[in-house]
Structure 1
Amino acid sequence: MAQKITSKKSLHKKSTKPDFKRPQRKHYYVFGAVMIVVLAMLAQSIFGKSSELNYDYIIASIADLNQEVSVTGKVKSSESVDLSFENSGKITTVNVKVGDKVNKGQVLVTLNSSELNAYLAQANADYQSAQAELMRYEAVLDQEKAVLAEVKRGTRPEEIQIKQTAVTNAEKALEDEKSNLEAVQSEADTDLDNIYKGVKDILSDALTKMQFAMDHQLEDMFDESTAEKDTLSFSIQDPSLETQVKWDKREANASVDNLTNSINALSDASSYIEYDAALNTAISSLSDVNSLLISLSMAVEDSATLPETTADTYRTSINTARSNIDTALSSVNTKKQSISAQIATNNTAITAAETAVSDAEHTLLSAQDNLTLALAGTQPEEIAAQEAVVKQSEAYINTQKARIASAAATVQLYQARIAKNSLVSPINGIITKQDAKVGEIIASATSVVSIISESKFQIETHIPEVDIANVNVGDMATLTLDAFRRDAEFEASVIKVDPAEEVIEGVSTYKVTLEFTQEDERIRSGMTANLEIQAASKSQVYAVPQRAIEYVDGTKFVQVVHGEEFEKVQVETGLVGEDGMVEITSGLEEGDKVVTYIKDQK
């Protein structure tokens, strides 16, 4: 809803003198005079220090403005009206022909407006987008105001209790996570210890298989009479292979001894590292025995003197021994893999439990900080910061309102341009000429259609060039006739604006023809008409009195009250209303106190 702009009286008012009664007795005269002097001195001490400026101001708010052009004219008998387009363009529709009866407001001929329609659609979209953005800003402002209210209110007792409960719960959660970590670590130790308990049995089994192979399965293949017992009991053709067999036999014997010593060194007090070392020794020892078995197998195949039955026996012994050694090696490797897998599982579980403890510690610290903050209450700087946020949101809204006004003006601009592409009958009448053809390019100001009016009388007036730009065909006017009382008002509408000037008494003017909207038998030709033409209007705009605007070197300013000081603000102006109010298109915000009068006081 548009609001009327109201004016507030001066903030500083002059005091009035007290009205003393005339004393009844003569001896009161002196006392009364003394009292007057005392009161005058007291008033001077109280009011003498007030502001030296006495001023009036108005509150900037939304208003509707109307612009009128006041002129006089003469009533004349009706005549035909010639209609033309203000702009050139291509004719798209012709709705009448000569002899047709038309009504006021009827569309007669139109020009192509496709491009303007596209611009209008874009302008409407921009306007709607600006409105949506305003709604978003208003929602944000509501949220920020709610936050400000919360900040000003401070922490409620129930909120402190909630935060205290959060601390208690966080402490309990931390204790639970610590207990869980201890349980996970204990379970991990137990699981790993159980796996290591079987290591010694696997090592002993591997040693047994190695010793059985060396002492029984391979015994007949070596000459036991030699000191090292590493010489083959049969001859082979490859000397290097024979040397390899001797080397492998010695390595295997040493490996058996090494594994024996490692196993004997293990006890219940041995560490996991010692068990891991024994497993690695077993793998190395089994590999050495396996190497001996491979070289022996090659030696049997290389012998040319070994009987076939003996060779078959040796082959069987070697294969059996290799199978046993492979089984033992697989068991040792499987145990090592089980240990590695258990360690990985333990590490994952422990890491997860440690992370849970760390998270619980952080949660507790956060809960404690929140409780401390709640107990401390709201600080002044917090309120100031949130108030600044609210003011910023309000500034965004004011800026967005200005954008909406600009977008609305753009919509109105394109609507006006589109309207000018339609030739509309300004009167009720009959078509006497129609020269428009569809597809024809018509020039501006070219007479296209002529209409003879059905009414009896029209009004002719001449409007000065300073006002003619505000008068358009279709504008309404109220008028009085000198022949009647001032309260006898009539209505008329502008039906024609001549494009050519007429110089009257040295002033460029333009003839404007109006038609009465209703017939009245009292009207006579030659009567003088006093016209008020409604030339322009705007709704929902900021407006201030013309006297509030200052002009400095072509720039316009107003003074805005801030506390006890004035700020000079640059503004842009628009429409000037008939009541002396001027549209402010930029520079002011709703609620600003705009100074309209300042007087220096002595």
Structure 2
Amino acid sequence: MLEMAQMLNKIKKLIMASRRNMIGAVVIGLAILGTIGYLILGGNGNGEIVVATKRDLVETVKISGRVEADIVSDMGFPVSGIVRTVKVKAGDRVWAGQQLAVLDLGTLYADLRSARAEVAIKRAELANLQIDLTAVKRQQDTLVESAYRTLLSASLEAEPASASYTQTPPTITGTYFGAEGTYKIIIDRNSSGGANGIKLRTFGVEKTEQIEVSDTTATALGTKGLYISFADDLTDYANTTWYVTLPNPKSSVYATNRNTYEEAIRERSAALSSAEANLRQGVGGDSIAKAQLEKTEAEVARISAEIGQRVLVAPFAGVVTVVNIDPGESASANTTALAMISAGELGVKVDLPEIDSIKVNIGDLATVTIDALDSELALPAKVVAVNRAETMVDGVPVYEARLALTAKNATIASGMTADVTITTGKKDGVLSLPARAIRYRTSGTPYILTISRGGKQIDKEVALGLRSTDGYIEIKAGVVAGEQVLVAK
């Protein structure tokens, strides 16, 4: 800039020295034009000069698309038939699973009720087989338990701890419910205990505290079902100890009871094996009963499927857009009877060219204007899906992207044309230059030509960043704010 000031000063002197000289006037004019050219073209005839400055950069992709619902569905019956009822009309809102139309079902509902009743019968038969096994097991367990209690309880005897005892051994009665073993019974006299002061304690199979002995009835021997009574005067038994073994191997009926018990175990095993075999035959994988049940269940499924083929239900919540059938008409298989769109928020579908598809990502914000509405109405939106697999349109690969409108507008309808501006990049306050100021070497490396204070051109390589839609590009390295850069013609 100092050089420019010097040249202007020289021109001024020429004007002063050449006022009376026409030729000088021409020279002055040429000098002025040359100075103007220098100022405009940077003093070298190669282009203009720009200054590296900080600014906000925004990169956008602009493209047209169409407003669409999230889901669009054309529905028809998979079988032909006479339309019995149509339960909706175009414009109706429906919920997922709602019946929309039904073909004539004939006797299918009656057939379904009959098949379900047959299933109930077959299941009851199988359940009865299982109940029989439970009953057999319960019965056999009872027989074995009874034989075992008889073995443990029959002909029990109280044996004295000393052969010198002269008392009549106590009598043991009752049915014993406990494990095999031996009772040790200690009888004491306690002046504080009852009318006679005689008490007993037990050890071995059951340990008890002192039990007051009755002199009129049998006394409970612990808690397992046995009783003890005394033939002599109770005071004669004071300070004696007795043993009761369960079962009593010295009993005359011991061998018989043992055999009865073991036979009950064998009979239980045989009875259960037989019942389990019958059950396996009834409910096993190859059993007739189970096969019959599966057959009836399959019949229920078949009839239900036939009914389902004749009933159209809404696959999702939404709005009915088309109804092509009326009651009494013949509906052909696999033709559109009704159409629906989803009840979710409307969105916009766009087909991105290859060069823009790499810029757009899920989450990018956008604005949408609808051709049919006020062009000043910019609706906010967000990219929710980008298909990275190309679709060929007229021989050109495009990439489908979907945007969700983040603000509701009741006037927008599916099918409207939309103009979309997607913000794919944004940086605030970054050093930048016009993109046309960037030059490229044959190797592809970007560089610029800066102008020094003395007017000298300096070659500098630069690192580039975001390219904004308005023609500026971020300079990450290679230049500082305020530097003058020569722009090529």
TM band (smaller chain): 0.3 to 0.5
Report 1 or 2 for greater relative contact order, CA contacts < 8 Å, sequence distance ≥ 6: 1
More helix by share: 1
Decide which structure has greater strand share: 2
Q: Tell me the TM-score normalized by structure 2.
A: 0.37
TM-score using structure 1 length? 0.31
Report which of the two structures shows the higher radius of gyration computed on alpha carbons: 1
